[in-house]
Amino acid sequence: MSRSVSLALLLALLAAPALAQSKSRTYNIGQPATSGQIAGWDIDVRPDGQGAPPGQGSVKAGEKIYLEKCAACHGEFGESAGRWPQLAQGKGTLASHDPVKTVGSYYPYLGSVFDYIRRAMPFGDAQSLSNDELYAVTAYVLNLNDIVDDKFVLSRATWGQVTMPNQGGFYDDDRDKVEKAFWNAKPCMKDCRPPVKITGRAGVLDVTPDQKPKGGVE
């Protein structure tokens, strides 16, 4: 057997187990996720409340939690402290020069608010709130935005009673229809600009060094 053939054979033998392994799709690393681990990751809440955990919380209970755990950054009334994000007000500003995006002015669904707080807040101590605390503090943030009254208790049962003010501001992307004419306009590919007329030169305006660079480019 020539040397090169035996080398090819050796490579084939080495590759064989790897091939067999990729077919069975086990890589001999890691371990199966436990149901507890999966539950820890699977925390998204959909617009209709699907995925919301059991529990409940009142605006009143939420006020206390908010003042302790949120107000230092977001302000006592959601007005923001310093440069932390504002959580309330801002309605009617989205189309203005300085849009103020808040839970009340921008968020489309209660699920988005709940999910955000559940996932990420309090900043620096994320996912430290109990389910009841989450419901309560979310109810309070809604109350700061005049979306629910002072007596409201948020739970899976009352989820459907909450309508976010900007829900109608979100709609399916309709640019293929609305901007169709624009995208179908024939693009200019040749002689698109009138000839350029030079009206002054940098050298004359004294913004270019007098000496020519060595490369000869002016």
| Interface with ligand HEC (CB under 6 A) | 69-70, 72-74, 84-85, 87, 101-103, 113, 116-117, 121-124, 137, 141
- CA–CA separation, 215 vs 53, rounded Å? 71
- CA–CA separation, 116 vs 129, rounded Å? 13
- Nearer to ligand HEC by Cβ, of 48 and 68: the residue is 68
Closest approach of ligand HEC to the CB of residue 18, in Å: 42
Q: Could you tell me which residues come within 8 angstroms of residue 117 by beta carbon, excluding any fewer than 6 positions away?
A: 129, 134, 137, 138, 141
- Nearer to ligand HEC by Cβ, of 24 and 74: the residue is 74
Q: Could you tell me which residues come within 8 angstroms of residue 154 by beta carbon, excluding any fewer than 6 positions away?
A: 56, 57, 58, 135, 136, 138, 139, 142, 148, 162
C-alpha to C-alpha distances, 127 to 49, 122, 143, nearest whole angstrom:
18, 8, 22
- CA–CA separation, 52 vs 160, rounded Å? 12
- Nearer to ligand HEC by Cβ, of 77 and 84: the residue is 84
- Nearer to ligand HEC by Cβ, of 49 and 106: the residue is 106
Residue identified by tokens 């033998």 is 13
Which amino acid belongs to residue 216? G
- Nearer to ligand HEC by Cβ, of 85 and 165: the residue is 85
Which amino acid belongs to residue 85? P
Reply yes or no: is the peptide bond before residue 53 cis, omega within 30 of 0.
Answer: no
Q: Indicate the Cα dihedral angle 119, 121, 123, 129, nearest 10°.
A: -100
CB 153 within 8 A of CB 58: yes
- Nearer to ligand HEC by Cβ, of 49 and 104: the residue is 104
